[in-house]
Amino acid sequence: MKYEQPTQLQAVILDWAGTVVDFGSFAPTQIFVEAFREFGVEVSLEESRGPMGMGKWDHIRTLCNIPEIAERYRAKFGRIPTDDDVTDIYNRFMPLQIEKIAVHSALIPGALDAISLLRGKGLKIGTCSGYPKVVMDKVVELAGKNGYIPDHVVATDEVPNGRPYPAQSLQNVIALGISDVSACVKVDDTWPGILEGRSAGMWTVALTCSGNALGLSYEEYKNLDAVELDKERVRISKIFEDSKPHYLIDTIAELPAVIDDINSRLAKGEMPQCS
Protein backbone atom coordinates (compact mmCIF):
# COMPACT_ATOMS: atom_id res chain seq x y z
CA MET A 1 0.00 0.00 0.00
CA LYS A 2 1.56 3.30 -1.07
CA TYR A 3 1.11 6.81 0.26
CA GLU A 4 -1.23 9.01 -1.75
CA GLN A 5 -1.35 12.75 -1.19
CA PRO A 6 -4.79 14.20 -0.43
CA THR A 7 -6.37 16.04 -3.33
CA GLN A 8 -8.89 18.02 -1.31
CA LEU A 9 -9.42 19.29 2.21
CA GLN A 10 -11.26 17.27 4.84
CA ALA A 11 -11.38 19.58 7.87
CA VAL A 12 -10.93 23.09 9.17
CA ILE A 13 -9.61 23.57 12.72
CA LEU A 14 -10.93 26.88 14.03
CA ASP A 15 -9.82 28.93 16.98
CA TRP A 16 -12.55 30.55 19.08
CA ALA A 17 -12.04 34.10 20.46
CA GLY A 18 -11.10 36.48 17.67
CA THR A 19 -11.81 33.84 15.03
CA VAL A 20 -15.44 32.74 15.36
CA VAL A 21 -16.62 34.64 18.45
CA ASP A 22 -15.63 37.86 20.26
CA PHE A 23 -14.51 40.24 17.50
CA GLY A 24 -11.35 41.91 18.79
CA SER A 25 -10.68 39.09 21.31
CA PHE A 26 -11.68 41.15 24.33
CA ALA A 27 -12.89 38.40 26.68
CA PRO A 28 -9.48 36.93 27.55
CA THR A 29 -7.37 40.08 27.28
CA GLN A 30 -9.50 42.33 29.49
CA ILE A 31 -9.71 39.67 32.19
CA PHE A 32 -5.92 39.43 32.39
CA VAL A 33 -5.85 43.15 33.14
CA GLU A 34 -8.50 42.74 35.86
CA ALA A 35 -6.85 39.68 37.42
CA PHE A 36 -3.49 41.43 37.80
CA ARG A 37 -5.20 44.55 39.10
CA GLU A 38 -6.75 42.54 41.93
CA PHE A 39 -3.19 41.84 43.06
CA GLY A 40 -2.34 45.53 42.87
CA VAL A 41 -0.28 45.19 39.70
CA GLU A 42 -1.18 47.21 36.61
CA VAL A 43 -0.95 45.48 33.22
CA SER A 44 -2.12 47.31 30.12
CA LEU A 45 -4.51 45.82 27.58
CA GLU A 46 -1.75 46.04 24.99
CA GLU A 47 0.66 44.13 27.24
CA SER A 48 -1.96 41.49 27.98
CA ARG A 49 -2.44 40.87 24.26
CA GLY A 50 1.23 39.99 23.63
CA PRO A 51 1.19 36.22 24.41
CA MET A 52 -2.40 35.69 23.25
CA GLY A 53 -3.04 32.20 21.89
CA MET A 54 -1.12 30.38 24.63
CA GLY A 55 -2.82 28.45 27.40
CA LYS A 56 -3.87 30.88 30.11
CA TRP A 57 -1.39 29.78 32.81
CA ASP A 58 1.43 30.00 30.27
CA HIS A 59 0.08 33.36 29.16
CA ILE A 60 0.27 34.71 32.71
CA ARG A 61 3.76 33.22 33.20
CA THR A 62 4.89 34.96 29.99
CA LEU A 63 3.44 38.27 31.16
CA CYS A 64 5.21 37.89 34.49
CA ASN A 65 8.49 37.32 32.64
CA ILE A 66 8.25 40.73 30.98
CA PRO A 67 10.83 42.83 32.87
CA GLU A 68 8.52 45.84 33.31
CA ILE A 69 5.69 43.72 34.72
CA ALA A 70 8.07 41.72 36.90
CA GLU A 71 9.38 45.00 38.32
CA ARG A 72 5.86 46.24 39.11
CA TYR A 73 5.21 42.96 40.91
CA ARG A 74 8.51 43.26 42.82
CA ALA A 75 7.63 46.82 43.85
CA LYS A 76 4.36 45.52 45.29
CA PHE A 77 5.47 42.24 46.90
CA GLY A 78 9.26 42.54 47.25
CA ARG A 79 9.99 39.70 44.82
CA ILE A 80 9.60 38.84 41.17
CA PRO A 81 6.65 36.51 40.51
CA THR A 82 7.27 32.81 41.12
CA ASP A 83 5.29 29.95 39.57
CA ASP A 84 3.21 29.88 42.75
CA ASP A 85 2.41 33.56 42.23
CA VAL A 86 1.46 32.82 38.63
CA THR A 87 -0.88 30.08 39.88
CA ASP A 88 -2.46 32.51 42.35
CA ILE A 89 -3.15 35.00 39.52
CA TYR A 90 -4.45 32.18 37.32
CA ASN A 91 -6.80 31.03 40.08
CA ARG A 92 -8.24 34.54 40.26
CA PHE A 93 -8.35 34.84 36.47
CA MET A 94 -10.46 31.72 36.06
CA PRO A 95 -13.63 32.73 37.97
CA LEU A 96 -13.45 36.22 36.46
CA GLN A 97 -13.24 34.67 33.00
CA ILE A 98 -16.19 32.35 33.58
CA GLU A 99 -18.22 35.17 35.11
CA LYS A 100 -17.69 37.58 32.21
CA ILE A 101 -17.32 35.32 29.17
CA ALA A 102 -20.91 35.98 28.07
CA VAL A 103 -20.19 39.69 27.67
CA HIS A 104 -18.01 38.94 24.65
CA SER A 105 -19.74 35.83 23.27
CA ALA A 106 -21.26 37.23 20.07
CA LEU A 107 -20.41 35.45 16.83
CA ILE A 108 -18.18 37.35 14.44
CA PRO A 109 -20.20 38.75 11.50
CA GLY A 110 -20.13 36.35 8.58
CA ALA A 111 -18.92 33.39 10.65
CA LEU A 112 -22.07 31.28 10.44
CA ASP A 113 -22.41 31.80 6.69
CA ALA A 114 -18.75 30.95 6.12
CA ILE A 115 -18.95 27.79 8.23
CA SER A 116 -22.13 26.75 6.42
CA LEU A 117 -20.30 27.09 3.11
CA LEU A 118 -17.42 24.98 4.44
CA ARG A 119 -19.79 22.24 5.53
CA GLY A 120 -21.34 22.41 2.07
CA LYS A 121 -17.91 21.61 0.65
CA GLY A 122 -17.82 18.49 2.82
CA LEU A 123 -15.43 19.79 5.49
CA LYS A 124 -15.63 18.82 9.14
CA ILE A 125 -15.31 21.60 11.72
CA GLY A 126 -12.84 21.04 14.52
CA THR A 127 -11.95 23.65 17.12
CA CYS A 128 -9.40 24.45 19.80
CA SER A 129 -8.61 27.33 22.12
CA GLY A 130 -6.24 28.70 24.72
CA TYR A 131 -9.15 28.45 27.16
CA PRO A 132 -9.21 25.56 29.67
CA LYS A 133 -12.17 23.18 29.52
CA VAL A 134 -14.16 24.81 32.32
CA VAL A 135 -14.23 28.04 30.27
CA MET A 136 -14.63 26.29 26.93
CA ASP A 137 -17.76 24.52 28.15
CA LYS A 138 -19.37 27.92 28.74
CA VAL A 139 -18.11 29.33 25.43
CA VAL A 140 -19.47 26.31 23.54
CA GLU A 141 -22.82 26.58 25.33
CA LEU A 142 -23.18 30.26 24.43
CA ALA A 143 -22.10 29.67 20.83
CA GLY A 144 -24.66 26.88 20.47
CA LYS A 145 -27.41 29.27 21.49
CA ASN A 146 -26.24 31.51 18.66
CA GLY A 147 -26.32 28.69 16.12
CA TYR A 148 -22.70 27.54 16.06
CA ILE A 149 -22.09 23.87 16.90
CA PRO A 150 -18.71 22.51 15.73
CA ASP A 151 -17.95 18.82 15.30
CA HIS A 152 -15.26 18.72 17.97
CA VAL A 153 -13.70 20.92 20.67
CA VAL A 154 -10.30 20.60 22.35
CA ALA A 155 -9.44 22.84 25.30
CA THR A 156 -5.85 23.67 26.19
CA ASP A 157 -5.84 21.57 29.37
CA GLU A 158 -7.06 18.46 27.53
CA VAL A 159 -3.64 17.87 25.95
CA PRO A 160 -0.11 17.58 27.41
CA ASN A 161 1.08 20.81 25.77
CA GLY A 162 -0.95 23.74 24.49
CA ARG A 163 0.00 26.17 21.75
CA PRO A 164 2.35 26.64 20.02
CA TYR A 165 2.67 22.84 20.26
CA PRO A 166 0.52 20.91 17.73
CA ALA A 167 -1.32 18.67 20.21
CA GLN A 168 -4.74 20.37 20.10
CA SER A 169 -4.93 20.37 16.32
CA LEU A 170 -3.73 16.77 16.17
CA GLN A 171 -6.31 15.74 18.75
CA ASN A 172 -8.94 17.14 16.39
CA VAL A 173 -7.46 15.12 13.53
CA ILE A 174 -7.82 11.94 15.58
CA ALA A 175 -11.33 12.69 16.82
CA LEU A 176 -12.63 13.70 13.41
CA GLY A 177 -11.14 10.69 11.64
CA ILE A 178 -9.04 12.73 9.21
CA SER A 179 -6.75 10.66 7.02
CA ASP A 180 -3.95 13.20 6.49
CA VAL A 181 -2.90 16.38 8.29
CA SER A 182 -2.25 17.94 4.89
CA ALA A 183 -6.00 17.82 4.32
CA CYS A 184 -6.56 20.20 7.23
CA VAL A 185 -6.51 23.98 7.63
CA LYS A 186 -5.77 25.71 10.94
CA VAL A 187 -7.39 29.16 11.24
CA ASP A 188 -6.32 31.50 14.05
CA ASP A 189 -5.88 35.16 14.99
CA THR A 190 -2.63 34.62 16.97
CA TRP A 191 0.91 33.61 16.10
CA PRO A 192 0.97 30.70 18.61
CA GLY A 193 -2.14 29.33 16.88
CA ILE A 194 -0.49 29.58 13.48
CA LEU A 195 2.65 27.88 14.78
CA GLU A 196 0.38 25.16 16.17
CA GLY A 197 -1.04 24.52 12.72
CA ARG A 198 2.35 24.70 11.03
CA SER A 199 3.83 22.27 13.55
CA ALA A 200 0.92 19.91 12.91
CA GLY A 201 1.69 19.89 9.17
CA MET A 202 -1.48 21.76 8.18
CA TRP A 203 -2.34 24.65 5.93
CA THR A 204 -2.64 27.82 8.00
CA VAL A 205 -4.76 30.96 7.71
CA ALA A 206 -4.04 33.99 9.88
CA LEU A 207 -6.86 36.46 10.62
CA THR A 208 -5.53 40.00 10.67
CA CYS A 209 -8.53 42.12 11.68
CA SER A 210 -11.05 40.13 13.73
CA GLY A 211 -8.83 39.21 16.62
CA ASN A 212 -6.04 40.01 18.98
CA ALA A 213 -3.62 41.71 16.60
CA LEU A 214 -5.92 44.57 15.61
CA GLY A 215 -7.77 44.54 18.93
CA LEU A 216 -10.74 46.63 17.80
CA SER A 217 -14.47 46.05 18.01
CA TYR A 218 -16.31 45.24 14.79
CA GLU A 219 -17.72 48.78 14.67
CA GLU A 220 -14.27 50.32 15.16
CA TYR A 221 -12.85 48.05 12.44
CA LYS A 222 -15.58 49.01 9.98
CA ASN A 223 -15.03 52.70 10.73
CA LEU A 224 -11.30 52.65 9.94
CA ASP A 225 -10.51 54.54 6.77
CA ALA A 226 -8.89 52.56 3.96
CA VAL A 227 -5.42 54.07 4.40
CA GLU A 228 -5.33 53.36 8.14
CA LEU A 229 -6.66 49.83 7.61
CA ASP A 230 -3.94 49.10 5.07
CA LYS A 231 -1.31 50.35 7.53
CA GLU A 232 -2.72 48.04 10.18
CA ARG A 233 -2.66 45.08 7.80
CA VAL A 234 1.02 45.72 7.09
CA ARG A 235 1.80 46.00 10.82
CA ILE A 236 -0.10 42.83 11.65
CA SER A 237 1.45 40.86 8.78
CA LYS A 238 4.84 41.52 10.39
CA ILE A 239 3.57 40.08 13.69
CA PHE A 240 2.68 36.86 11.86
CA GLU A 241 5.75 36.82 9.63
CA ASP A 242 7.90 34.41 11.66
CA SER A 243 5.04 31.92 12.12
CA LYS A 244 4.73 31.70 8.31
CA PRO A 245 0.97 31.48 7.68
CA HIS A 246 0.05 30.33 4.19
CA TYR A 247 -2.69 32.98 3.96
CA LEU A 248 -3.64 36.23 5.67
CA ILE A 249 -7.24 37.46 5.51
CA ASP A 250 -9.24 40.03 7.46
CA THR A 251 -11.93 37.77 8.95
CA ILE A 252 -13.43 34.30 8.72
CA ALA A 253 -15.97 35.66 6.21
CA GLU A 254 -13.21 35.42 3.57
CA LEU A 255 -12.28 31.82 4.43
CA PRO A 256 -14.42 29.95 1.83
CA ALA A 257 -12.45 31.54 -1.04
CA VAL A 258 -9.19 30.45 0.63
CA ILE A 259 -10.52 26.90 0.95
CA ASP A 260 -11.21 26.83 -2.78
CA ASP A 261 -7.66 28.00 -3.48
CA ILE A 262 -6.13 25.36 -1.19
CA ASN A 263 -8.22 22.63 -2.83
CA SER A 264 -6.90 23.81 -6.20
CA ARG A 265 -3.33 23.62 -4.92
CA LEU A 266 -3.85 20.16 -3.42
CA ALA A 267 -5.26 18.95 -6.74
CA LYS A 268 -2.01 20.10 -8.38
CA GLY A 269 0.04 18.12 -5.87
CA GLU A 270 1.08 20.99 -3.58
CA MET A 271 1.48 20.29 0.12
CA PRO A 272 1.48 22.70 3.08
CA GLN A 273 4.94 21.63 4.22
CA CYS A 274 6.41 22.79 0.91
CA SER A 275 5.35 26.43 1.11
The CA-based dihedral angle spanning residues 244, 247, 251, 257, taken in that order and rounded to the nearest 10 degrees: -160
Instruction: Point out the catalytic residue in the list 15, 22, 85, 188.
Output: 15
Active-site residue flag, 222: no
Question: How long a stretch of residues is the chain?
Answer: 275
Q: Tell me what pLDDT residue 63 has.
A: 93
Task: Report CA-CA distances (Å) from 262 to 11, 217, 258, 267, 270.
Answer: 12, 29, 6, 9, 9
Q: 200: which DSSP letter?
A: T
Whether residue 225 lies in the annotated active site: no
Say which of 22, 56, 186, 188 is annotated catalytic: 56
DSSP secondary structure code for residue 19 in this structure: T
What domains appear along the chain, each with residue ranges and CATH number? Answer: 11-26+104-274 (3.40.50.1000), 28-102 (1.10.150.240)
Q: Which residues contact 26 (CB under 8 A, 6 or more apart)?
A: 104, 217
170-212: per-residue pLDDT in tens? 999 999 999 999 999 999 999 999 999 999 999 999 999 999 8
pLDDT in tens, 59-85: 999 999 999 999 999 999 999 999 999
Number of C-beta neighbours around residue 37 at 10 A: 12
pTM: 0.89
| pLDDT tens-digit readout, 240-274 | 999 999 999 999 999 999 999 999 999 999 999 98
pLDDT tens across 2-55, in order?
999 999 999 999 999 999 999 999 887 888 899 999 999 999 988 998 887 888
